[in-house]
Amino acid sequence: MTDERAGVRVHIETYGCQMNAYDTSAIHGLLAARGYGRAESPLEADVVLLNTCSVRDLAEHKILSRIGELRSLRRRGLAAADIIGVCGCMAERLGDGLVAGGRGPDLVAGVDQYDQLPDLLDAILRGESAPAPVAVGHRDDVHYVAPPEAYPTNNSHLVTIHKGCDYRCTYCIVPETRGPQREKAPLLIEAEIHGIVARGGREVTLLGQNVTAYRSGDLDFAGLLRRLETIDGLERIRFLTGHPCDMTDDLIRTIAELGKTCPWLHVPAQSGSDAVLRRMKRLYTRERYLAMIAAARRWIPDVTFSGDIIVGFPGETDADFRRTLELVEEVRYDLLFSFKYSERPGTPAAKLPDDVPPEVKKERLAELMAVQDAIWDDLAAAQTGAVWEVAVEAAARRPAGSWRARTPNNRKVLLHGGDHRPGDLVRVRVTGCEASTFEAEPIN
């Protein structure tokens, strides 16, 4: 270890999606290998990295004001934060623009540049670097791997299986920030999962913008699932996100047949109106989406769905929005993430007038969320008395003697009573539901 990094501690704040959460762990791994320490809070850190998201305007604004806040803490001597860096999608989208004017971060590293980070930090600490180095641009040759012990979210270990996206949904900035789709080799994915299992992990969540579009040589996503199912000691496989176009009958039947792949599909619809779907370039119709949902229901026992919806896309009429509400009523998602359309510079949709007034977007979002809440209340109430097998995740903070657990179809359960260990499979009877968490008691 050289002197300049002795005792230097790095804190990373993560925004955006799970792929950033995975990358944050990978960055910690890369920096630890170079001798950098880790700080749990920005106030104790010498280096603060923000792993950022560009998906909506609001997400970017939050981060820009966070940079200002960190700079002000530093100025007032309240936090060391000698180096403030920006990683992730905003680094990629804004690059040099972030540091222009000298009021931005001290370092910018895009999503394919994390192997450069230790060198960049070393150079800054030696005082040899330009005021604010900027490393961005997409590369083929790197797939970061996060150390297995670093990311135990809900006992499900994240494993990114590819980078980027080859779809071109007209509203979306991700193909620009994450680049074209590039696969992690199956051998590397398997090695990563073996490492997780060797350290006691039993569940993985495969991650990618569209994992269902995975293809490495002749191996497609269904083939990859079949291979991963053979890993001894691995008990559950989840994945997100699935693109409705790739959810073929073959893939659905494969998921149904495989014992370890969980019956939960995150399949964003975005809209229930064909006219809007066409302008979004989602490449499916409402009918095709609903047929996919019906096929999954037919073949995969106990399957549940979650999804994303955008309200107020350019030209969305009230009738279009009603079609979305009807679709949501028909699918009956367990969980729905709904967003107001946010114009992203340089995307094809940015050429369309952003003509749905903000107050209408707000009303539609509120109405959609109310419809979804009612669906969930109804769905949840119907589960009382059901018998499920759940995987225990951890002791719950309260009440004493209760446990956090999860069903294969991704329902959260608070288990009252019994002596368990994380990973145990327990048969339970559902006694009720509070918000998004079911209450249950163990049965023999």
Which residues are at the interface with ligand F3S (CB under 6 A)? 16-17, 19-20, 53-55, 88-89, 173-174, 177-178
Among 24, 113, 209, 261, binds ligand SF4 (CB under 6 A): 209
Listed in sequence order, the DSSP H helices in 83-185 are 88-94, 96-99, 117-125, 174-178
Q: Residue 261 gets which letter from DSSP?
A: B
Given a contact cutoff of 8 angstroms between Cβ atoms, the answer to whether 111 and 92 are in contact is: yes
CB of 167 or CB of 299, closer to ligand SF4: 167
Is the peptide bond preceding residue 105 cis, with omega within 30 degrees of 0?
Answer: no
Nearest-approach distance from CB 202 to ligand SAH, in angstroms = 26
Applying CB under 6 A, does 308 fall inside the site for ligand SAH?
Answer: yes
Q: Residue 341 gets which letter from DSSP?
A: -
Judged by CB under 6 A, the chain residues 224 through 263 that form the site for ligand SF4 are: 243
Reported in sequence order, the residue ranges of 7-133 that DSSP labels E, i.e. its strands, are: 9-14, 37-38, 47-52, 83-87, 107-109
Nearest-approach distance from CB 369 to ligand F3S, in angstroms = 20
Reported in sequence order, the residue ranges of 259-350 that DSSP labels E, i.e. its strands, are: 264-266, 304-311, 335-340
Place of tokens 């109804």: 378
Applying CB under 6 A, does 169 fall inside the site for ligand SF4?
Answer: yes
Place of tokens 């145990």: 424
CB of 23 or CB of 320, closer to ligand F3S: 23
Place of tokens 């163990």: 442
Chain position whose Cβ is nearest to ligand F3S: 16
Nearest-approach distance from CB 199 to ligand SAH, in angstroms = 29
- β-bridge pairing 152-153 and 156-160: antiparallel
CB of 51 or CB of 241, closer to ligand SAH: 241
Among 210, 216, 261, 338, binds ligand SF4 (CB under 6 A): 210
Among 209, 261, 324, 402, binds ligand SAH (CB under 6 A): 209
- Angle at which helix 18-33 crosses helix 117-125, to 10 degrees, equals 60
Applying CB under 6 A, does 264 fall inside the site for ligand SAH?
Answer: no
CB of 172 or CB of 325, closer to ligand SF4: 172
CB of 215 or CB of 416, closer to ligand SF4: 215
Nearest-approach distance from CB 110 to ligand F3S, in angstroms = 11
- Amino acid symbol at 222: A
Chain position whose Cβ is nearest to ligand SAH: 308
C-alpha distances out from residue 139 to 42, 185, 287, Å: 30, 15, 38
Applying CB under 6 A, does 248 fall inside the site for ligand SAH?
Answer: no
Nearest-approach distance from CB 189 to ligand SF4, in angstroms = 20
Nearest-approach distance from CB 418 to ligand SAH, in angstroms = 37
Among 285, 342, 384, 437, binds ligand SAH (CB under 6 A): 342
Structure tokens at 199: 């350290």
Applying CB under 6 A, does 172 fall inside the site for ligand SF4?
Answer: yes
339 binds, among ligand SF4, ligand SAH, ligand F3S, none (CB under 5 to 8 A by kind): ligand SAH
Instruction: Give every CB contact of residue 163 below 8 A, 6+ residues apart in sequence.
Output: 111, 112, 143, 178, 179, 181, 182, 184, 208
175 binds, among ligand SAH, ligand SF4, ligand F3S, none (CB under 5 to 8 A by kind): ligand SF4
Element housing 415 (H / E): strand 412-416
- Smallest CA-to-CA distance from 206 within 173, 157, 243, 164 is with 157
Given a contact cutoff of 8 angstroms between Cβ atoms, the answer to whether 242 and 287 are in contact is: no
- Smallest CA-to-CA distance from 74 within 100, 99, 43 is with 43
CB of 207 or CB of 234, closer to ligand SF4: 207
Rg (CA), the chain: 23
CB of 170 or CB of 410, closer to ligand SF4: 170
Buried b / exposed e across 345-383, counting CB within 10 Å, b at 16+? eebebeeeebebeeebbeebbebbeebbeebbeeebeeb
CB of 208 or CB of 272, closer to ligand F3S: 208
Applying CB under 6 A, does 89 fall inside the site for ligand SF4?
Answer: no
Applying CB under 6 A, does 104 fall inside the site for ligand SAH?
Answer: no
Stretch touching ligand SAH by CB under 6 A, among 61-69, 116-124, 228-236, 336-344: 336-344
Structure tokens at 157: 């270990």
Listed in sequence order, the DSSP H helices in 199-317 are 221-229, 249-257, 274-280, 286-299
Given a contact cutoff of 8 angstroms between Cβ atoms, the answer to whether 117 and 27 are in contact is: yes
Nearest-approach distance from CB 280 to ligand F3S, in angstroms = 17
Applying CB under 6 A, does 315 fall inside the site for ligand SAH?
Answer: no
Residues that bind ligand SAH (CB under 6 A): 55-56, 171-172, 174, 209-210, 241, 243, 268, 270, 308, 310, 339, 341-342, 344
Residues that bind ligand SF4 (CB under 6 A): 165, 167-169, 172, 174-175, 209-210, 243
